[in-house]
Amino acid sequence: METVTYNGLTFQPYITHETIQRRIAEIGKEIGREYAGKCPLILCVLTGAFPFASDLFRSIGIDAEIAFIRLKSYEGTSTTGNVKQVLGLTENIEGRHVIVVEDIVDTGHTICNLLKDLNAKNPASIKVATLLFKPQSEQCGVVPDYVGFEIPTKFIIGFGLDLDGLARNLRDIYVICDKANDANA
């Protein structure tokens, strides 16, 4: 696989589509076992989580519902630290078993803010499923319940993850290529 360039930054292949799909199937099975008979509400955090949530939702194999919320805090490759709710939650989650689905937990600010809001609505339980987790970057102490891949603190794109709106439709996941970007600087 070749490198890709967006907004002057070069990225190299990191996790293939096939590896992603295998891992999602494993997580889906685990969730299906744990939530049988509970009809969990899968809460997809837009925009980045939509491919992961879509594949995970179809791999669970038990009755489940899906809902969406849209949060935004990144500009370019960094967080603004300000988590904006672009689209709110319309479903009532009181008494529901909620599984929040994220593409990535990085600094943890987004998931921390969201969990605070959701807990105030009295769900029966809340768990977090994230495709990617950067444990060394996480600053809020949230440990996701289901993790696709633990990764180092490097900027990632593809499979839903963007750079200023681009690259979400790449089938594979790519990591920023420090060498190429330093050489171009």
* Interacting partner of 21 out of ligand PRP, ligand GUN, none (Cβ under 5 to 8 A depending on kind): none
106 is catalytic: yes
Burial class (CB in 10 A: 0-12, 13-18, 19+), 57: middle
Please confirm whether the linkage preceding 130 is cis (ω < 30° from 0). no
Q: How far is the CB of 35 from ligand GUN (least distance, A)?
A: 27
Residues making contact with ligand GUN (CB under 6 A):
74, 104, 106, 155-157, 161-162
Window 19 to 58, contacts with ligand PRP (CB under 6 A): 45, 47-48
Q: Exactly one of 106, 117, 164, 178 is catalytic; name it.
A: 106
Q: How far is the CB of 32 from ligand GUN (least distance, A)?
A: 28
Window 108 to 137, contacts with ligand PRP (CB under 6 A): 108-110
Helix (H) or strand (E) holding 72: strand 65-75
* Interacting partner of 108 out of ligand GUN, ligand PRP, none (Cβ under 5 to 8 A depending on kind): ligand PRP
Q: How far is the CB of 22 from ligand GUN (least distance, A)?
A: 21
Kindly tell me the sign of the dihedral angle through the C-alpha atoms of 45, 49, 53, 54.
Answer: positive
Q: Does 107 bind ligand PRP (CB under 6 A)?
A: yes
Neighbour order of strands in the sheet with 173-176: 4-6, 9-15, 173-176, 156-157
CA distances 50 to 8, 44, 89, 93, 104, Å, are 26, 7, 15, 20, 12
Catalytic residues: 106
